[in-house]
Chains A and B, each alone.
Chain A
Amino acid sequence: MAKYILKRVLRASVTLFIIITILFSLLRLMPIEGYFDNFDKVSSTEIQVKLNSLGLNDPLPKQLGRFYNQLLHGDLGTSNIYRRGVSINTIIAEKIPISVKFGLISFALSLVMGLALGIWMAYSTRTRFKIGDRLGTVLIVVVQAVPAAVYHIVIQFVGSQYAGIPMLFDEARPISYLLPILSLSIGNTAYYAMWLRRYMVDEANKDYVLLARAKGVPSGAISRRHIFRNAMVPLVQYIPGSILSTLMGSLYVESLYSIPGMGGLLVTAIKRQDNTLVQALVLIYAVVSILGLLFGDIMMAVVDPRISLAKKEGSR
């Protein structure tokens, strides 16, 4: 196992290198107009000066070399446009804690509520009127059917117009955390509930459950010890990724509630063509998502001993 992880990490660094190289090449394709405030009135000398100062006139390997050299010194570089002249470390250090805070609270909330709902739904498929299943389905269906861009703004309006909660986030007012966290967790709650129900219903039909039932194992114990645990296996893969990805923030929610987090930073940086910031963010996000996938695989193997990641005899 350790060998396998080591291998994956080594490979990941190669992948990171490929990602960054591709990214650099793509960024050079961006229209140069985007680097200027007032492209209408600049002369060709000014264009050259600007490209020079952004380091865009250098050949690609030289630009890459500069970037890696900086990285080795623990420096992500300096923002060119988004906050000109400010070190990216500073920008990110201000934003990450806020997004992570919101992300973790809502993740925990949605995991607890999602699993509870999923279990209740799966359980109630075996009851007569399937009330839990029906109610849960309504929630899931609504969340699925209404685009996130819309239900977030509806939550904000309803919350502020009818419950008197302030529209914008304000650090000093704890009540202003309520709506953003609700908005953030509702989607994942539905997601976890939906898939857990699906996997549990599938699992409940399996022969070993039938056997356990026949043996007289109480149905609560069957649900907890067998059905739930097996149904969690595919979900477990996503959990480390979800936790890590909280530091990316949420674009919709953070823009609606004025939360100064990471959400939308990448999109803004790309649209504003702040190349150094884009590079830094892509690097961070890539590390996060690669680790998320790796930890997910490890978790999956831990939860279900039948899964093996390392090469086994007779495997392909």
Chain B
Amino acid sequence: MSFFKKSADMLGDKLNEKLAQDLDESAVLNDEALAFSFAEFHPEAAERGGYSNYSYWRATLRAFFRNKTAVFFLCLMAVTLLFTFVQPLLPGQKDPLEVHYGEWGLPLNNVPPNGEFWFGTNSIGQDLWSRIWAGTRTSLFIGFSVAVVEAVLGILAGVLWGYVRKLDFFFTELYNVLDNIPQTLLLILISYIMRPGVSTIIFALSLTGWLGMARFIRNQIIIIRDRDYNLASRCLGVPTRRVIFRNLLPYLVSVITMRMALAIPGAIGSEVFVTYIGIGLPVSIPSLGNLIQTGRSLMQMAVLRYQLIFPVAVLAVITISFYIIGNSFADAADPKNHVN
């Protein structure tokens, strides 16, 4: 014990010496005239610790904001999100469900984009512009809700699954069970019981959506759980929770952010998929999923392609923004990239 104390003292002394040297060197740079002169002993200076104003998150943000493309997409996404919610409040906006009629009492269907209908109208004469924004609202709501569940449940379960070996059995089998009950079946049953709607979709997608995230995190954790520094922590008796939050998760920040950035567009993609197999949202609740599905069948006619292109473009802007932001943030989150 005494040996340890002694060496710790020695270490302290050494540090002080080094600090003093550093101070000296800076002094040299400041004043050449005082080159190589001996410094006097300052008790206050000796007390100064190895303080640095480095903050992980601030550095991450600084690194992130240095990336012009990422900042551009961040602004683009912010504007899109804001606009999605502000749009219905703007003057001159149409109701997404209202059918518009022409002079002859017949619906103004499949009107190509013009001054009146900015994105044209659909096959029964509803305004595509307002439908797309209403759809974006619905889809983003679904996307965010599902992504939040995915993040919370997925990371929690993934970390426990990967790190705590006693739980490996439980989680592996839980994963196998949940992953193999077909989502289609659940969705059909849920919408049979709860009626098709936004909450049904969120519920059904969340039910199994977190599994992929959990498996992903678990694989990452398994890779690093037996590395020396974790072994060291364990030997020193650090509690599991602390190992997870201090050793493991910070290490994974970059991959987790990237995965999260893809979770929202991913959830929207799942919504498109369930609409494709015919159990998605009904068309009276516009969403990007059913707008795209409707647009797909109109691909055959070049003049109608606007009904596919507009919703896909909006979805693409959202997805690309999330992807670029996620990727840049992941780069920025790596402390190695903070140096330069």
A and B in direct contact, judged by CB atoms within 8 A: yes
A153, B296: Cβ atoms closer than 8 Å: yes
Indicate whether A312 sits within 8 Å of B320 (C-beta atoms), given known contacts A11-B172, A12-B176, A31-B192. Answer: no
Q: How far is the CA of A12 from the CA of B177 in the complex (A)?
A: 10
In the bound complex, residues from chain B placing their C-beta under 8 Å from that of A144 are 262, 265, 319-320, 323
Instruction: Report whether A147 and B269 are in contact in the complex, using a CB–CB cutoff of 8 Å.
Output: yes
Chain A residues whose C-beta falls within 8 Å of the C-beta of B312 in the assembled complex: 146-147, 150
A90-98, A220-228, A283-291 - interface stretch: A283-291
Since A202-B254, A312-B226, A314-B235 are in contact, a sample of 10 more A-B pairs with Cβ atoms closer than 8 Å, ordered by chain A residue number, is: A14-B173, A147-B273, A150-B292, A198-B254, A198-B258, A205-B336, A271-B188, A289-B179, A314-B234, A316-B166
State A18–B163 Cα separation when bound (angstroms).
25
Q: Does A295 contact B (CB under 8 A)?
A: no
Complexed CA–CA distance, A144 and B269 (Å): 9
Give me 7 A-to-B residue pairs in the complex whose CB atoms sit less than 8 angstroms apart, sorted by A's number.
Answer: A8-B172, A141-B319, A141-B320, A144-B319, A146-B312, A289-B179, A290-B180
Query: Which residue on chain A has the smallest CB distance to residue B268?
Result: A147
Do A316 and B181 touch across chains, with their CB atoms under 8 A apart?
no
With A30-B188, A252-B276 in contact, do A198 and B176 touch (Cβ < 8 Å)?
no
Q: Of all chain B residues, which has the CB nearest A20?
A: B180
Q: A147-B272, A148-B269, A149-B273 are in contact. Are A300 and B235 (CB under 8 A)?
A: no
The answer to whether A308 has its CB under 8 Å from any CB of chain B is: yes
Docked CA distance A202–B220 (Å): 13
Q: Is the CB–CB distance between B184 and A267 below 8 Å?
A: yes
- The reply to whether A234 and B219 contact each other, CB–CB distance below 8 Å, is yes
- How far is it, in angstroms, between the C-alpha of A237 and the C-alpha of B158 when the chains are bound? 15
Query: B179 near A145 (CB under 8 angstroms)?
Result: no
- Partner of B337 from the list A18, A147, A205 (CB cut-off 8 Å) is A205
Question: Do B299 and A22 have beta carbons less than 8 Å apart?
Answer: no
Contacts of B317 in A (CB 8 A): 145
- The verdict on A73 contacting chain B, using a C-beta distance below 8 Å, is no
In Å, the complex CA distance between A300 and B184 comes to 31
Q: Of the candidates B165, B175, B226, B334, which one forms a contact with A293 in the assembled complex, judged by CB atoms under 8 Å apart?
A: B175
Instruction: Report if A286-B176 is in contact (Cβ < 8 Å); known contacts: A234-B220, A271-B184.
Output: yes
Q: What per-residue 1/0 map shows which CB atoms of A1-41 lie under 8 Å from chain B?
A: 00000001001101100110011001101110000000000
CB distance from B158 to the nearest CB of A (A): 13
Contact of A289 among B180, B223, B269, B278 (CB under 8 A): B180
Q: What distance in Å separates the Cβ of B171 from its nearest Cβ neighbour in chain A?
A: 11
The answer on a CB contact under 8 Å between A22 and B296 is no
Check A149/B272 contact, CB under 8 A, given A314-B234, A316-B234. yes
Residues of B within 8 A of A150 (CB): 292, 296, 308, 312
Decide if B173 touches A15 in the complex (CB within 8 Å).
yes
Set A142, A147, A270: member contacting B292, Cβ < 8 A: A147
